[in-house]
Amino acid sequence: MANINLPTFAQAKEREFRSKGAAMARFAEDVLVAVNEVIGDINTGMDRTSTISFVDNLEGSVGIDEKFRRPFSELVTQRLIEIGQRPPKGLEAYYNRLAQRHDEIISTFWMDSVNLAQYADQDDDDTTDTVGLGALG
């Protein structure tokens, strides 16, 4: 499992929001806040025994598999707009649709954790497993 690399992720957000000049310092702070708030949303929206760790800076990586880069990115984008970053002109409708899909995007992470749990359970002996519907009593 390759985690989401934060330096390249933050650079992609800079390009997406076309952040330049003096606004870059605030934007970097907002990205860090948004990333951590999204991690909190994912942790809250999932029934997991282990949670995703918060990050202290935009170096290193987030403990989310790279395959979830797009939904994670969409959630961070939505949060950036909520905390005051302006979306690029002409894309306002796209960002409004993202806000409407918040719960659907969070459920992507939840379904993956359910699928992983089910996959891990496949090696069990289903003859005594109520979840496997093989309980003998």
105-117: per-residue pLDDT in tens? 777 776 665 555 5
* DSSP per-residue codes, 29-90: HHHHHHHHHHHHHHHHHS--SS-PPP-SSSSSEEEEEGGGHHHHHHHHHHHHHHTTPPPPTT
Q: Give me the number of domains the chain comprises.
A: 1
Nearest Cα neighbor of 54 from 43, 46, 45, 65 is 43
105 occurs within a structural domain: yes
User: Quick one: average pLDDT of 16-36?
Assistant: 88
136 occurs within a structural domain: no
135 occurs within a structural domain: no
Residue 84 belongs to what domain range? 3-128
pLDDT at 31: 96
User: Quick one: average pLDDT of 96-100?
Assistant: 80
- Average pLDDT score, the chain: 80
More reliable by pLDDT, 105 or 68: 68
33 occurs within a structural domain: yes
Q: What is the pTM (predicted TM-score) of this model?
A: 0.74
91 occurs within a structural domain: yes
133 occurs within a structural domain: no
